[in-house]
């Protein structure tokens, strides 16, 4: 498939993203994802007050952990690449994207539970199995974070637990 075979923008709701990613429970807060091109994504997430991660992080002073912003960014990038990047479609079917590096992160303001958080993401293929991901994160049009990570593709069997 080539880029011309894709119809951008593609809009995915939470259920669509769940069909692409294995994540569930408190770690999965992706609400919607717009794939604007093969490497350009806009994601929306929100952490409810009753999310287990929020409950245990600064009890009585609920803020969304920065690591959750990083994880959500990785999920949005992974889903966007799997659904909208023609190159990723050429990888073996058992390939799965995993967080490979956290390179540069700036947290400018706290993110609170129930706020709508927007991720403006750009990806760049660095090597056949490595993608650099940049994101600007906003709440109510105010920048709250700038993030840079790397995702790597690995065979699913390599990541699955071996009994014992």
10-residue mean pLDDT series, the chain (164 residues): 82 96 90 98 97 88 96 97 94 89 97 98 97 99 99 87 55
Q: Where along the chain do its domains lie?
A: 3-159
Give the three-class secondary structure for 46: coil
Q: Are 64 and 51 in contact (CB under 8 A)?
A: no
Catalytic residue, from 23, 39, 42, 57: name it: 57
Closest by alpha carbon to 31, among 114, 136, 147, 141?
A: 114
> 39 an active-site residue?
no
Quickly tell me which residue has 């959750």 as its tokens: 68
- In this structure, what DSSP letter does residue 130 have? E
How many helices and strands in the chain, by DSSP H and E? 4, 7
Beta bridge partners of 134: 122, 148
The fourth-level CATH superfamily of domain 3-159 is Hotdog Thioesterase (3.10.129.10)
């Amino acid at each position: 498939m080539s880029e011309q075979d894709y119809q951008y923008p593609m809009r995915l709701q939470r259920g669509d993203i769940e069909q692409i990613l294995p994540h569930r429970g408190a770690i999965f807060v992706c609400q919607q994802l717009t794939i604007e091109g093969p490497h350009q994504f806009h994601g929306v997430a929100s952490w409810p007050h009753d999310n287990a991660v929020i409950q245990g992080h600064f009890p009585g002073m609920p803020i969304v952990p920065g690591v959750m912003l990083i994880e959500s960014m990785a999920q949005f990038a992974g889903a966007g690449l799997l659904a909208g990047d023609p190159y990723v479609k050429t990888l073996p079917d058992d390939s799965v994207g995993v967080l490979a590096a956290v390179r540069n992160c700036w947290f400018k303001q706290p993110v609170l539970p129930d706020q709508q958080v927007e991720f403006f993401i750009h990806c760049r293929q660095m090597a056949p199995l490595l993608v650099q991901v940049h994101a600007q994160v906003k709440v109510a049009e105010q920048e709250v974070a700038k993030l840079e990570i790397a995702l790597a593709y690995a065979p699913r069997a390599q990541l699955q637990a071996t009994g014992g």
